[in-house]
Structure 1
Amino acid sequence: MRFKLRQMEAFRAVMLTGSMNGVARLLFVSQPAVSRLIAHAEQSLGLRLFERDKGKLTPTAEAQRLFEEVGQLFDEALRIDELARDLAERPEGELKLCSSPSLALNFLPPVIARYVNEHPRVRLKYHTTLLSDMAHELLGRKVELAVSVLPIDNPNLVVEPFATGHMVCILPQGHALARQDSVGLAELARNRLVLYSRNIPFGQLVAAAFQRANVPWRATVDIVRAELACALVRSGVGVAIVDEFSVAGGGWPGIEVRPLREPIPLALSLVRSRFERPGRQAQRFVKLLKEQAQRRAAAVQ
């Protein structure tokens, strides 16, 4: 191998710190040793990696290209190192999970809390993702399991609906419409509206509901996340329509939640790759998730 791993490490450190002194401190080696590593790398590669001027190092175009690839290599090495530590410290493995952002606020945290309490020797990696990226994450094996609040249609995915919900109206505390048990779209449209952008799935659901009800509307503020809508409504910007999971549990003081008279239904789904069998940890998580959905459904009835 012409470009040795130790040379790559020194090269990467120079790119990150911008000086030989910085590299020496970062790698705990002497400055002459760093200079020799870089010089040997340039000689063996037949490339000039840095322009030298009065002690300053300026990366060449070739160095910039190499840095991108070396960075990816070190990211992968860190992942392998992390896996090795996990195998030693957490012998029961890991579970990689993602979900729609709105489910991260109230619905999933109790499930995750119960899971990590019951399986402390499993490493859980969890993040939120957009519907448009969910298939890529599953099929690219970045996650094993996804939980979506919106429909997802892909022939290479297994989609299992397991719970239902609705979009709801949120109002500033003390708003006149809050005196009603439910709110109609026509009533909402007479107020300043904070709505999901029409170019995202939630926005398309809301737009279709207004069209079905034959109610003209215009958003005062377009948003893409429910927590933005909640913050704006609480500040008196207007009224909004969000998914019920984002506002469950009373986590937003200063806003009122009311059902819509014209229902906009939602279906929560478990999603996984058709090409991968769910592992033991994923099966355990799914069991807890379905139990949470059953408790929630029983509480609503």
Structure 2
Amino acid sequence: MMTLRQVEVVRAVMVTGTIGGAAKLLNVSAPGISRLIKYTEKSLGIRFFQRQNGRYFPTPEARSIFEQINGVYKKVDDLTSTISAIGRGGLSELRIGSVPSISQVMVPRAVERVRRRYPDLHMDINILKLEEAIDYLLLDKGECVAMSYRLPHPGLEFQPLASGELYCIVPESHVLAGRDEISAAEMTRYPLIGIDPNDPYGRIMAEMFARNKLTYDITIRARFGTTVCALVKAGLGIAVIDQFTVAHGGVPGIALLRIAEPTRFDTYVAVKRGVPLSLHAESFIEYLRAEMRAVEPTRDARGLPRPRSRAAGRRK
């Protein structure tokens, strides 16, 4: 039986016609090629070449197996090409989902890093409501979903991404735009654009006002953070929004104010329980976690989360 190395060497001599040519083709020493040819002929009891005027010509026996050797070599070459394609993301598709708040800024930054690592990878990205994430994973429509909330479900597993907090956002021309921080009581003095209370961030906002026994008037209610930001930018009021939606200057035309009260929340990536993730999905989760943790708030002396600065998360 011939090894793949013997097949490779015999073919190289057949193609080049000389030991020296085969050595150059395979980037090895000529004596090594010569020794391997002699060993192969002796071990198999077949003479592969006749030497004439310094060149090596296949014997009739060798010609009869030359096509077989070429076929074996082509299969090895095809295998190498396939492995290389997989390493670049070819022949694969990454299907991922995200809730809107994480998809606005964080997901594109993670996807850009995945693309650099796997330039040939196809990707399918879905923006999902919280209630849509369950079917998306259980019906195998995608491998993972970035979530702003942990759902109790026996068929799903949740891995931590990062912690965050809420900001108050105002138009850049607003009287509050020059402030660094604002309290919940101060926010009630201005028209307030509210997130749907069924949204995790909406619940945090409502609980913040309830803890302080504050009454407030939601003049406009919206479901998604991108809509809230657009309404604020249009001068229709101020709002409370999660930090990941507005990270890295993702929404120009608004100013960010820290909220004096604690508004910490945790984010997760959900996957189907018991189903192994692809290498590409694992890479996406790794990059997404790194991007989100790079802008998560630090903690102050009281142990409460504090963002690093008003410009936290802006790319330099």
Report TM bin, short chain.
0.5 to 0.7
CA distance in 1, matches of 2:90, 2:252: 42
Q: Cα distance, 1:295 vs. partner? A: 3.3
2:137 corresponding residue in structure 1: 138
1:274 corresponding residue in structure 2: 273
Give the match's secondary structure for 1:98: strand
Q: Cα distance, 1:254 vs. partner? A: 2.2
Counterpart residue identity of residue 190, structure 1: R
Q: Rg: which structure is higher? A: 2
Q: TM-score, normalised by structure 1?
A: 0.66
CA distance in 2, matches of 1:199, 1:295: 28
Matched, 1:242 2:241: yes
Matched, 1:127 2:109: no
1:172 corresponding residue in structure 2: 171
CA distance in 1, matches of 2:129, 2:106: 17
Q: Cα distance, 1:258 vs. partner? A: 0.8
Q: Cα distance, 1:90 vs. partner? A: 6.3
1:96 corresponding residue in structure 2: 95
Q: Cα distance, 1:275 vs. partner? A: 3.0
CA distance in 2, matches of 1:246, 1:292: 13
Give the match's secondary structure for 1:256: strand
2:106 corresponding residue in structure 1: 107
Q: Cα distance, 1:128 vs. partner? A: 0.8
CA distance in 2, matches of 1:107, 1:135: 21
**What is the percentage of aligned positions where both structures have the same residue?**
27
Following superposition of structure 1 onto structure 2, how do residues 2-81 of structure 1 map, counting pairs within 5 Å?
none
CA distance in 2, matches of 1:271, 1:201: 16
Q: Cα distance, 1:210 vs. partner? A: 1.1
Q: Cα distance, 1:286 vs. partner? A: 2.0
Structure 1 residues 196 and 295: CA distance shift in structure 2, 3 A: closer
Counterpart residue identity of residue 275, structure 1: G
Give CA-to-partner distance per residue, 1:1-38, whole Å, 9 cap, x none: xxxxxxxxxxxxxxxxxxxxxxxxxxxxxxxxxxxxxx
Asked if 1 retains the 8 angstrom alpha-carbon contact of 2:89 and 2:118, the reply is no
Q: Cα distance, 1:162 vs. partner? A: 2.3
What root-mean-square deviation, in Å, do the aligned CA atoms of Structure 1 and Structure 2 show?
2.3
CA distance in 2, matches of 1:133, 1:235: 30
CA distance in 2, matches of 1:111, 1:145: 14
Q: Cα distance, 1:102 vs. partner? A: 1.3
Q: Which range is displaced more, 200-209 or 111-120?
A: 200-209
Give the match's secondary structure for 2:295: helix
CA distance in 2, matches of 1:222, 1:240: 10
CA distance in 2, matches of 1:247, 1:91: 33
Counterpart residue identity of residue 259, structure 1: R
Q: TM-score, normalised by structure 2?
A: 0.63
Larger helix percent: 1
Superposition misfits of 4+ residues, deviation over 3 angstroms? 89-92, 293-301
Long gaps (5+) in structure 1: 1-85
Give CA-to-partner distance per residue, 1:94-148, whole Å, 9 cap, x none: 1110001111211111110110121022211111101111111111111101111
Counterpart residue identity of residue 238, structure 1: G
Give CA-to-partner distance per residue, 1:150-185, whole Å, 9 cap, x none: 232222211111211111100122323333321111
Long gaps (5+) in structure 2: 1-84, 299-306, 309-316
Structure 1 residues 186 and 297: CA distance shift in structure 2, 3 A: closer
